[in-house]
A and B are shown apart, each in its own frame.
Chain A
Amino acid sequence: MSASSVAGMIEVSGLTKRYGEKVAVHGLSFHVSPGIVTGFLGPNGAGKSTTMRMMLDLDHPTTGRVRIDGKRYAELREPLKYVGALLDAKALHGGRSAYHHLLCLAQSNGIPASRVGEVLDVVGLTAVANKRSKNFSLGMGQRLGIAAALLGDPEILMFDEPVNGLDPEGIHWIRNLMKSLAAQGRTVFVSSHLMSEMALTADHLVVIGQGRLLADTSMAEFIRTNSRSYVRLRSPQQEQLLDVLHRAGITAVTAGHGALEVDGVGAEELGELAARHQIVLHELSPQQASLEEAFMQLTAESVEYHAHAQPTEWRT
């Protein structure tokens, strides 16, 4: 296989995980390449964490496989030197100090103890190195998890929801960290349920919903195809306007607050059409749907836990 020869490449092929009747991950296939930040996006319960656990050989796939540098994770003899993973901030023993937590991980991979001080410094936890981690805030826990991921100076980094619980300064820090890690030629694979977060950091996107692949595309391509532009219209003569639009073969959708939304027709054309029929317009504005909306549309059918109060009509 040609792809397996590339250092830092992760290949996921046909990955399926079944828990009894429930299928958490369904035939998932994608690649993660070095040198870029790959965003792994999906709503809560989409199977992101399950997939990441299978990538690390913690959970066993029902079918399918994951290869890292062409190998199974379990075949990596000193895995921390290949892969650094932040699974969740609380995947540690709270009674142990940050220093000892990192030391025991370093020792298990034959990493010199001096590296512990270095990574504590990188994440800014040097001052609390000897404090027990159970008293850490969520943000400090995340930083400790990131320190553990960086311990082996690995070529691949996997972060599961790294910005959770971080303050704005911490979020800014981790965005830059991920970008600089990728710029060094490392593979950075980061999961999130926030499209806006991914838009700021990821170069490539893998989107899943209910365990199925929905999109595997570059960020630029995703923005181009998914950011819907439309025109918002408001008029005191809404009935007449709808009638005119209908006769012109233009589909309008009613949105909240008495507004209409029209896809695929320019604002100029709509304005002229209204003028010709002497319809008063209170608003005629071109709109760009946010990526967040695009993401919600993409995953709309696959969101597992719907909130049932929609503030506006659901557009499709």
Chain B
Amino acid sequence: MTTPSTPAPYQQHPGVPGYVSPVPLRRATLLDALASEWTKIRSVRSTIWTLGVMVVLVVGFGALIALALRSVDLPEGESPVSLGFVGVLLGIIPVITLGVMTIASEYGTGMIRTTLTACPSRARVLAAKGIVFFLLTFAITLVATALVSAAISGILGGSTAGSVWLGATVGVSAYVALLGLLALGVGSLVRHSAGAITIMIGVVLLPLVMALFMMSEGLRDVQQFLLEYSIPSQLAIFYGTPMGEDGPTGWESLGLMGALVALVLGLAFLVQHKRDV
């Protein structure tokens, strides 16, 4: 026999009409994608683990420090609520992990191909993931920071201004959730959990660590900038304990983080259309 070099011409199969499903058609919207992503995020253990660890770190460290400092006088003008800072600083790590995992685990497992087959609009998938992750993280962080602020006040007493309360709960929670959203954006760009988590930990820690070693006079300005704008420093601002004099205020740092998130997520939106999965 010979190998046919030109395939036989296509012939229409006669007589069989296409299948018509009895299931009614309804236009899928972003709300459907949100419902889908909500199911996804609540049905994996990594969500329970990371957010659980975050709550334990935030509440546990805050309460422990408060108990340890019961007999010590706080510096003049500093609210006891600011002692919650250390717990939140540690609690950032699991939030970053969850942010990255929310999207990178889909690439790691191959789930992304199923997801995008079900919803070919990549923008809608990324938007839904971002919204669900942000709202969930914000809500849980708000509960944790409110709990720890109340616990510290309860243990140490003292008066705390309303604006500090607001910063230590709503402000901090929004900042942490935005940071997690940044991690989600990085996860979408890198598509690799370990890689993206490493990058994010670097983003959080490296500026501050670098600043500590910039001892020479010529680098004084750079050091000052890094000290004021590193993520731990910006977090400290919400507690009324900034590391520099001229750094951003709490709401400014929220704006800065928001801009950074917009930049990275915007890039992720642009890039994902061109890439294969």
Contact = CB atoms under 8 A, between A and B. Distances in A.
Nearest to A157: B19
Contacts of B3: 214, 297-298, 301
A109 B117 CA distance: 11
A8 B18 contact: yes
Contacts, number: 177
B32 A225 contact: no
B40 A53 contact: no
Given A8-B18, A87-B117, A215 B25 contact: no
Contact of A91 (B4, B21, B114): B114
Contacts of A6: 18
Interface residues of A, number: 71
A103 B43 CA distance: 10
Nearest to B44: A95
Majority SS of interface residues in chain B? Answer: loop
Contacts of B115: 105, 108
Contact of B36 (A30, A108, A226, A294): A108
A105 B4 contact: no
B56 interface: no
Contact of A108 (B26, B105, B119): B119
A91 B111 contact: yes
B45 A95 contact: yes
Given A56-B117, A87-B113, A115 B19 contact: no
B160 interface: no
B13 A155 contact: no
A59 B43 contact: no
B119 to A, nearest CB: 5
Interface stretch (A69-77, A120-128, A193-201): A69-77
B43 A100 contact: yes
B120 A74 contact: yes
A121 to B, nearest CB: 16
A6 B248 CA distance: 62
Contacts of A103: 39, 43
Contacts of B26: 78, 110
Taking residues whose C-beta sits less than 8 angstroms from the other chain, chain B's interface range is: 35 or more
A39 B36 CA distance: 33
B35 interface: yes
Contact of A148 (B1, B19, B44, B114): B114
A50 B103 CA distance: 23
Most buried by A among B8, B16, B118: B118
B18 A105 contact: no
Given A8-B18, A56-B120, A105-B115, 13 more contacts: A35-B18, A73-B120, A74-B121, A79-B120, A93-B105, A93-B106, A93-B111, A107-B36, A108-B118, A110-B32, A155-B20, A214-B7, A215-B8
25 contacts: A7-B18, A34-B16, A53-B113, A56-B116, A58-B117, A78-B26, A79-B118, A81-B21, A81-B23, A88-B110, A91-B110, A93-B105, A93-B109, A95-B44, A95-B45, A95-B46, A103-B43, A104-B36, A109-B119, A110-B32, A148-B114, A186-B18, A187-B18, A214-B3, A214-B7
